[in-house]
Amino acid sequence: MPQRTSLADADCSIAQALDVVGDWWTLLIVRDTARGVHRFDALQQELGVSRKVLTERLRLLVDAGVLTREPYQDRPVRYEYRLTPRGRALLPVLIALQDWGDTWVLGEGEAMATTAEASREAARVRGLRGTRLPELLLTGNDGQPHDPVADTPCTVLYCFPSAYAHRDAYPPGWAGIPGASGCTLESCTYRDQLAEFTTAGATVHGVSVQRPDEQRAFAEKEGLRFPLLSDADLALTAALRLPTFRAAGVSRLKRLTLVVDRDRTIREVLYPITDIEASVRAALEAVRGRAAD
């Protein structure tokens, strides 16, 4: 392992944090464990790192309390690496880095709730087809934990930036952010076509990073008959590397839709969404297509 200069005694919390996660391998390990990659061989395959370097970085993260090491096999003993509460607290850092990269490295520096059809961001998100959504729980607008994947043949997860019961709750300049407006229209379109999704064997869930109480007020105002799920802790966002943008100092999901099978495999990705009503029709067609297979 390269010689590292310890910053642990520096009188700066940024320096102290970098002493733990100050090289790219450590943050990429956190990224992949958040995606549901927990075993040594799988991490090595995902990262393309040497066994020696991976062993050293895993030891560093375990010693720092970012990861915990849990046995999953006795003979020989083998371990899984899972994020601790301290490790999960790094997820906003990862999302902020991703948002900065999407905006300033891959993009043109403009804050937006969508992207161009031919962008590298769009290609990354559409590349989620065929991947598996790891097991996790999100808090619903009823205050209870929910698996975002329902026990029905398909689940439609439509991710939206933010929707509020009162117009004055939206961040300043919201209407001027490309792609941000339309969350009420989207939710109400799913509400009005919910019976068709149900008949086709699909459950509908809306997902945003808002607090459950904000989602509950909005759902009650609009008479929604399906759960809105809060990803305020960014667990789903980090697990799938979903695209975000920042408004009023908060990382918010860009508008996209996932169609997920009961086995948690993502079968369809709609992104970017430029026509909200057409995207709901496309989601329904994808569900009906899965039912016909």
DSSP 90-117: THHHHHHHHHHIIIIISS-S---SS--T
Phi then psi for residue 215, to 5 deg, are -65, -40
Beta bridge partners of 204: 156
Contact between residue 18 and residue 223 where contact means Cβ atoms under 8 Å apart: no
Distance CA 84, CA 65 (A): 7
Contact between residue 112 and residue 245 where contact means Cβ atoms under 8 Å apart: yes
Give the list of residues 6+ apart from residue 24 with CB closer than 8 angstroms, or none: none
Separation of CA 42 from chain center: 21
Collapsed DSSP state (helix, strand, coil) of residue 209 = coil
Location of structure tokens 């300033």: 104
Query: Cα–Cα distances in Å, from 66 out to 17, 56, 97?
Result: 11, 14, 18
Distance CA 10, CA 16 (A): 7
CA within 13 Å, CB half, 27:
16
Distance CA 41, CA 38 (A): 9
159 is catalytic: no
Location of structure tokens 């839709």: 257
Active-site position among 154, 159, 183, 188: 183
Query: Cα–Cα distances in Å, from 198 out to 22, 140, 215?
Result: 48, 19, 22
- 48 phi-psi bin (left φ>0, alpha ψ -120 to 50, beta other): left
Q: Which residues are catalytic?
A: 183
